[in-house]
Chains A and B, each alone.
Chain A
């Protein structure tokens, strides 16, 4: 897996799936359309202020609430390269891996990194570098099979590829 590198958009505890992608947009399952409304109810300028490759950093229980896979789909389709959080809600965690959105749990990084910082993540080692501050953090590296799922852009491709 390639490293992720970008500027940080920072949020707090319990960012729920209703604010990540409000239900009023769930009559669509088109990733590009969902991406247009990503994070709309917590940060209405999200799509304007983010650039491709940027990184979301949040605190506890990111992605709590509904099981809608539309939430990680909208984040991935918006161009976010990784989500770092202190903890993730369990369904979101599974969904993110299954659709190939890199996520990483790291308490210290979640506390230390600020909005706007430039950050790089090495998925092989789990090392998170805050380039702006010159600090590094040890996040939880993905087990190999999870890295393969993400590299294959999700569980379905991974299953198909492993059958070949």
Chain B
């Protein structure tokens, strides 16, 4: 019986000829990641372990990005803990404020994640690197600690759902609409414990940034990982960003899948997830039919949609327009490089002239940390990834998940809208 792409990567990392769904394996890790919220807990755990230092100072990435620049004294203490651990262990890939970006945008940009890698990160959106053909999955702080100490982690080999993509996305429809559509279809536990393997002729039409967005939200369907095949676009991206050698894996032709779901990209419409679950999806046409949804805030950014193409899409819509009166619009380029590119391409000027604020990279508003916390009764259209109760602030506030195009159009109209409505 053949193996899925994920199973082949895991077999290699476990030093086995083959694995099958349900096998318990011990795999070698190529990268272990943590941020300013999860790393302090992991550091506390590793200090309790009878180990000398870390397994490999080059294979650990520590990225303070959630509550930095420090939002309060307690956050400052957490960041200090991470910084001191990084210094003590001479961690190569520690990213201080000024170099850091949102982890899942930063690490691929720095060439730290390549095809065939096995990556764990103490952040649930670690699944993002599947866009590059790596196996990568979110874990907790204790797994991170054990990973930093031993360079290994145990896994139950997942079965998989195959998403066969055909056609190409229409104008103003993006990877975000695709993944929201999928989550709406299978539900927030539709891929529980499973791999989501994206394949088919439609993959070629998706940009790398679209693929990062899709893989990023695999966890919102309960998935263990999301993964794309390596093609010309991947290779081109790697040429630009990575120097490390990599290994390309392909699913076997006779690989077994729990199910195959066919998706014609050309049929997709701008899609929005209503409160309070990512599976509560509505197309823009359904939303228009049901009446206006008035909003108070828009956030454009995050590990899901803070990359340069997201910024370009938002800027194209906001150019020469102004945000609706009374609306707060927060734009957050995900990394320093994206920020710089926005500056060079004149996008920052467009955002500021349109009445947006532009922030240094941070996860802040996505999880109700800071930089856009909401009051009772307020509504936000956000390009982030979760719309749970209280996610962005007060338990009676609401988050509507959408693409950068929908977020920017909504910013102009003051209600949920898409570029066609302008």
Interface residues of A (CB under 8 A from B): 14, 16, 18-19, 22-24, 26-29, 41-42, 60-61, 64-70, 72-73, 87, 89-91, 94-95, 98-99, 154-157, 159-160, 163
Minimum distance in angstroms from B248 CB to a CB of chain A? 27
B368 engages A91 (CB within 8 Å): no
B395 within 8 A of A: yes
Query: Provided the pairs A18-B367, A27-B75 are in contact, do residues A67 and B38 lie with their beta carbons within 8 angstroms?
Result: yes
Residues of B with C-beta under 8 A to A98: 140, 142-143
How many chain B residues sit at the interface, stated as a range, is 35 or more
| Residues 66-91 (chain B) with a chain A CB within 8 angstroms | 66-67, 71-72, 74-75, 78
Bound-state Cα–Cα, A154 to B222, Å: 24
Per-residue 0/1 for B103-127: is the Cβ within 8 Å of any A Cβ (1 yes, 0 no)? Answer: 0000000000000000001111010
Residues of A with C-beta under 8 A to B75: 27
Residues of B with C-beta under 8 A to A89: 189, 192, 222
Who on chain B is nearest to A30 by CB? B74
Interface residues of B (CB under 8 A from A): 37-38, 40-41, 44-45, 48-50, 66-67, 71-72, 74-75, 78, 121-124, 126, 138-143, 145-146, 188-189, 192-193, 219, 222, 224, 277, 367-369, 373, 386, 388-391, 395
From A90, A94, A160, give the contact of B222 (CB < 8 A).
Answer: A90
A24 engages B368 (CB within 8 Å): yes
Residues of B with C-beta under 8 A to A69: 38, 41, 122, 140-142
Who on chain A is nearest to B141 by CB? A69
- Counting chain B CB atoms within 10 Å of each CB, the highest count among A28, A90, A157, A163 belongs to A90
A91 engages B140 (CB within 8 Å): yes
A90 engages B193 (CB within 8 Å): yes
B222 engages A156 (CB within 8 Å): no
Bound-state Cα–Cα, A28 to B142, Å: 16
B143 engages A14 (CB within 8 Å): no
B142 engages A99 (CB within 8 Å): yes
A91 engages B138 (CB within 8 Å): yes
Who on chain B is nearest to A70 by CB? B41
Bound-state Cα–Cα, A74 to B362, Å: 25
A61 engages B142 (CB within 8 Å): no
A18 engages B388 (CB within 8 Å): yes
Query: Provided the pairs A29-B44, A159-B146 are in contact, do residues A67 and B395 lie with their beta carbons within 8 angstroms?
Result: no
Minimum distance in angstroms from B307 CB to a CB of chain A? 21
Bound-state Cα–Cα, A99 to B45, Å: 10
A154 engages B142 (CB within 8 Å): yes
A160 engages B140 (CB within 8 Å): no
A-B contact pairs, 9 of them (CB 8 A): A23-B368, A24-B373, A64-B188, A65-B124, A68-B38, A90-B224, A155-B146, A156-B142, A163-B50
Who on chain A is nearest to B394 by CB? A41
Minimum distance in angstroms from B256 CB to a CB of chain A? 20
Minimum distance in angstroms from B373 CB to a CB of chain A? 8
Who on chain B is nearest to A88 by CB? B192
- Counting chain B CB atoms within 10 Å of each CB, the highest count among A23, A64, A160 belongs to A23
Query: Provided the pairs A67-B140, A69-B41 are in contact, do residues A41 and B192 lie with their beta carbons within 8 angstroms?
Result: no
Residues of B with C-beta under 8 A to A155: 142-143, 146
- Counting chain A CB atoms within 10 Å of each CB, the highest count among B44, B123, B277, B367 belongs to B367
Minimum distance in angstroms from B396 CB to a CB of chain A? 10
Bound-state Cα–Cα, A48 to B385, Å: 32
- Counting chain B CB atoms within 10 Å of each CB, the highest count among A19, A24, A27, A99 belongs to A27
Minimum distance in angstroms from A41 CB to a CB of chain B? 4
A66 engages B145 (CB within 8 Å): no
Who on chain A is nearest to B47 by CB? A156
Residues of A with C-beta under 8 A to B126: 67
B189 engages A87 (CB within 8 Å): yes
In order of increasing CB-CB distance, the 7 nearest A-B pairs are A95-B140, A27-B74, A98-B142, A69-B140, A61-B189, A23-B367, A67-B124
A65 engages B141 (CB within 8 Å): no
A23 engages B369 (CB within 8 Å): yes
